[in-house]
Structure 1
């Protein structure tokens, strides 16, 4: 398949596999914090914030009162249930007002195969787009308002086949694009609040750690910068041009990710996102990626990123993140 055709069918992959993340900055310094227990971890949260009051289950009437400009019509159609994922919570987790940017790059296929855990390798493979090259999606999320208050997150993920299905390269991408159901394996997921870190590591088996993440949307550019947790210096950053032509036709996309839990068993989870304003581009000059010599920058260098296949800017979306389930129990239904 020609590269220009590949770009056309990977457009929606930009939201995929990273799962929701990039939220607003950490709690403002003038807001009081309180410490709560989450799965045995002492976690600081905004005193009187959504998580402090409701533990991931705020009544939508409260959201309506505190953020009257947020459209809750889609989220009203969803129902939460109490679940135990290492701590009591409610699934799905709601993300009410968010933005993101994603860039999909080709990457060294052999390296991507090395990074898939042995417990998943028989059923999950990186998608090969042409000989020796797979795909990596890099996404920055800004969660301005969610059940976990607000936070920023950056995801680096391998684009994969659906577990158990044959990986047919570009044809796999076409199938996922048509169904708007995408699959991936998350490699790295730094966040900038301890609440997001603990919930992600304990509850969702995700490779999260706490570090500084700046997210900028002012002016004609949008981008993020991840600090190295050891030095406090910028180690990894992505900047992109804002897109002028954005669709305002709401679109539902399901992003699935596989993982391995603490007992070594394969799991999967998924997020359904409602894209409210969104646009994409295949112009490689619209995106600038820089990597330093810190832990994350050095890791990214091992992926041997190549051509930028697709860039997507989503200044407004909502999402519902569902709790993980055993992969063996998956029957293809929701």
Structure 2
């Protein structure tokens, strides 16, 4: 049998068969479902292929590969990933919304990639039957995070509806995925990326202690829930023992100029002094002793200089965290 007698699907089936023989890790799940079906049907109808035909198909396949000049992802998600930050978020949103409306998006993959807060919003707003299917389809960690964010009465309704999902077919699953994806794409997207409490907290990180306390007191009078969110977002020098991992202390202190570090370590307020001791106790004995000697020999600094030095230490920690070089414990982990 010559290659001219084979269809393109048959040639593809031969290549896939060879790949499967050479590598057990080959996966076809990225192909569209229809393409997977056609490929399986083609392979089911084929029997023996002689060595000459096999080699000719491989040679033709290699020639086709060598002739390729450029490849494109072939779908919107891959294209947007390739473009990265080269197009605006607004343009990206419009493209995703159009794909969702036209049914061109991979619904369940996209839904699983949604931020947790959007999954919770869908779980709270969509009919319990659709939410039950969504929770059944999502990975367990995402499903549980969305479920625990529901009011009790709605959680009971969703749990009851999940008993009816066992008999759902693939076509219905796809339609439900598209409905939920369209609902997700219709959700308003904030123009500012960070929550307001996080932004205020980040600003107050660099404010003086008296100004920070004054602002938090005013927020308490106006909106206690918002004030609590701001407090959780604040990270100051005194939080170091509960937020910074011991293994990261040497890396952090390498970022700080020695005079600034010495002034920060001279803090006398109880919580700040405990933070200074935490930093020293997680250094090598030689380094810690050297810093203690410099502290003992230093003239007493002004309170303003100490506070500015502590802010510099916090800024270095934040910078390393934002760059992914260290990991901070969450505020909820504070003991």
Same fold (TM over 0.5): no
* TM-score of Structure 1 vs Structure 2, range by shorter chain: under 0.3
Asked which structure has the greater RCO (Cα within 8 Å, sep 6+), the reply is: 1
TM-score (norm 1): 0.18
TM-score (norm 2): 0.18
Normalized per residue, which structure has more strand?
Answer: 1
Larger Rg: 2
Q: Which has the higher helix share?
A: 2
